Chains A and B, each alone.
Chain A
Amino acid sequence: MLGTTFLLAIRSIARHKLRSILTALGIIIGVAAVVSMVTLGKATTAAVQQSIASLGTNILQVRPGQGFGRGGGGPRPPDFKPEDVTAIANQVAGVTAVAAQAQATATVIYEGANWSTTINGTTNGYFDVQPWPLTAGRAFTPIEEAAGKSACIIGNTVSKNLYRGGQAVGTRMRIGAISCDVIGVLSTRGQSGFGGDQDDVVIMPIKAVQRRFTGNRDIRLILVGVDKAFASSTVQASIEDLLRERRNITTGKEDDFFVFDTKQINDTLTGATTALTSIVTAVAGISLIVGGIGIMNIMLVSVTERTREIGIRLAIGAVANEVLLQFLVEAIALSMLGGVIGLLLAQGVILALVPVLKVTYLFDLQINLIAFAISALIGVVFGYFPARRAASLNPIDALRHE
């Protein structure tokens, strides 16, 4: 009986093509909205997570001051000393690697091309804290590090602008007033979570930067790699205790440094995009319900319009349940049809918006299945009432209906 009913429903839908499409329009838009919003939300979250992951996960950043840009008045808090770095490396449990960093800005010159960039003085520990493979050349040797030799590892952006695809490793370029041997080229990392180009950098041994550029032994930033077996909050607390002691901050006084967990940004930004996605999806979900009400309306009109047809079917010997099932299946088939068209439309919307939002295209099977199932469910829920009405018609009155 179900096969027959399904056949009748399909015939009826095919017979009223325009009406069918208009009926399903609400579902089409609803499904398309839900699926594209959820998918784009996920893609955005993924993009945010990826850019944060490029900062390195399980990394603590230790900086002087009380937060980004929150220096306030008064004397500038002192930078860290190399001894602080050694202390963190030796005295804090759960630390895998520590890298001190001293920064300067300089113009690099090679054969007439020049480029202004950040000079990042650090140690090989930098590459242990956050894996960053080289595409050519090598990292620093212990001798280069210890002596603060003028050796450079250049970021991809610098390589592109200075060497324009040519061989960089083995050459000698100028950085400000000094010359420097290029020993390696870093792989591309892209933008950071804050929009800066992470590839626009030259990395030198920290001692070289301190001697040639900053002129002191101060360290502006310490990167600490955290062992996965340890909670980053525990390690963070240990570092804070250690530094308070080393910097003679008595109990009750505020820290003049801060430890920043990249995982926190990750969680915060992911949380924000997830919340936004949820809200937009909820709004899109409402449009699905509105679509369901649209189906109910049209089905009710359809029942009235087809009263005589129902009368004929009843006279011919259709039992109430067969009429009920016919209209129910019709509603379900319509909403499922709307669901399928909606899913296709969603793919179109996603493909159109992916380049605009600068995210990576992804196909989320789960949301597609859920949206389709919901569209079928809407057919059942909103199709039942009109179908019930059709089935309860009196055949004599129905036949007499004009």
Chain B
Amino acid sequence: MASNARLATGHAALAGDTIIALRGVTKSYGEGATAFLALKGIDLDITQGDFVAVMGASGSGKSTTMNILGCLDVPSAGTFQFKGVHVETLDRDQRALLRRKYLGFVFQGFNLLARTSALENVELPLLYRGDAKKARHDTAMAALDKVGLADWWDHTPAELSGGQQQRVAIARAIVTSPAVLLADEPTGNLDSERSVEIMELLSGLNRDSGITVIMVTHEPDMAAFARTIVHFKDGLVERVEAHNSPSRLREGSQ
């Protein structure tokens, strides 16, 4: 809720409460004859507080788009506005600071630091933010509590199940109260029961904390939790599908 309140102020550059706006975004890799055009001109708006599922076959451009949305990469051409800021004009470190403040990442492979306790993993973004020891500890414990792992704070990833590791990763992603949570196939390495738990957790965060969630998935079951589904094909947005009542109940109808 706090992040929602913060987001609501001072960003009149975009219409409504659009938080992300891509205009004519292209991305090419390599040069000359071997150049490969991964994105061929994307226009995409994402509303603040939305739960977006990104779907598409391998090589359809969804990963490239996620990298750009995550400010890890910049478009070759076109514009990317994040909260009114033209990300394509920012340098490496400016984008890092933007990620630090507004973005949270959840990966398919969890990507926790090995031999590092859950608490220390969750504290990591707070360390870079410069929080004091006590604040770091309390905020990280609150985040672990949100994902239901407060009792597991001193366990290392090796001592946690896949589902638990992903929960720690989610706690790490939300510990800084980001505006947007980017999840790259968050359930790809989990069985269906754990997958549903993770999806419910993400839905809850989206619903209760107002975090905008953008998630890549191959599984229609998981996409069903989203309110908006963006389909990619051949480096273009094929269609944007709106789900009015996303819920677990839709699972059966897919």
Contacts and interface: CB of A to CB of B under 8 A. Distances in A.
Interface of A: 1, 4, 7-8, 11, 15-16, 308-309, 311-322, 395-396, 399
A343 to B, nearest CB: 29
B125 A308 contact: no
Contacts of B73: 396
7 contacts: A309-B113, A317-B101, A317-B129, A319-B92, A319-B97, A395-B72, A396-B72
Contacts of A311: 111
Nearest to B116: A15
A314 B96 contact: yes
Contacts of A1: 130
A11 B103 CA distance: 25
A318 B96 contact: yes
A313 B99 contact: no
A396 B192 CA distance: 28
The 10 closest A-B pairs by CB, nearest first: A317-B100, A319-B93, A317-B99, A319-B96, A15-B115, A316-B125, A395-B72, A315-B105, A312-B111, A4-B127
Nearest to A5: B127
A341 to B, nearest CB: 23
B186 interface: no
* A interface, over-half SS: helix
Given A11-B120, A395-B72, A396-B67, A316 B93 contact: no
B127 A7 contact: yes
B13 to A, nearest CB: 23
A109 B8 CA distance: 112
A4 B111 contact: no
A309 B105 CA distance: 14
Interface string B76-117: 000000000000000011001111110101010001111110
B127 A317 contact: no
Contacts of A321: 93
B111 A399 contact: yes
* B interface, over-half SS: helix
Contact of B113 (A312, A314, A396): A312
Contacts of B100: 316-318
Contact of B107 (A4, A11, A314, A399): A399
B124 interface: yes
A312 B127 CA distance: 13
A75 B108 CA distance: 103
B252 to A, nearest CB: 35
B127 A308 contact: no
Contacts of B93: 319-321
Contacts, number: 62
Contacts of A399: 107, 111
Contact of B92 (A11, A309, A316, A320): A320
Nearest to A311: B111
B70 interface: yes
Given A7-B127, A11-B120, A396-B73, A317 B97 contact: yes
A4 B130 contact: yes
B105 A322 contact: no
Interface residues of B, number: 29
Interface string B39-66: 0000000000000000000000000000
A5 to B, nearest CB: 9
- A1, A11, A15, A395: which has the most chain B beta carbons within 10 Å? A395
A395 B115 CA distance: 21
A314 B115 CA distance: 19
A275 to B, nearest CB: 50
A23 B98 CA distance: 36
Contacts of A309: 113-114
A316 B120 contact: no
- B103, B113, B129, B172: which has the most chain A beta carbons within 10 Å? B113
B128 A315 contact: no
Nearest to A4: B127
Contacts of B128: 4, 313, 316-318, 322
A308 B113 CA distance: 9
A11 B117 CA distance: 11
A313 B96 CA distance: 10
Contacts of B99: 315-317
Given A4-B127, A396-B67, A316 B97 contact: no
Nearest to A317: B100
Nearest to B92: A320
Nearest to A321: B93
A316 B72 contact: no
Interface string B124-156: 110111100000000000000000000000000
A316 B116 contact: no
A315 B71 CA distance: 9
A303 to B, nearest CB: 15
A8 B125 contact: no
Nearest to B121: A312
Interface string B156-195: 0000000000000000100000000000000000000000
A268 B230 CA distance: 89
A151 B103 CA distance: 101
B111 A320 contact: no
B115 to A, nearest CB: 5
A15 B121 CA distance: 13
Nearest to B175: A316
Given A308-B111, A315-B105, A319-B92, 19 more contacts: A4-B128, A7-B127, A8-B127, A311-B111, A315-B70, A316-B125, A316-B128, A317-B96, A317-B99, A317-B100, A317-B101, A317-B103, A317-B128, A318-B96, A318-B128, A319-B93, A396-B67, A396-B73, A399-B107
Nearest to A318: B128
Contacts of B172: 316
Contacts of A312: 111-113, 124
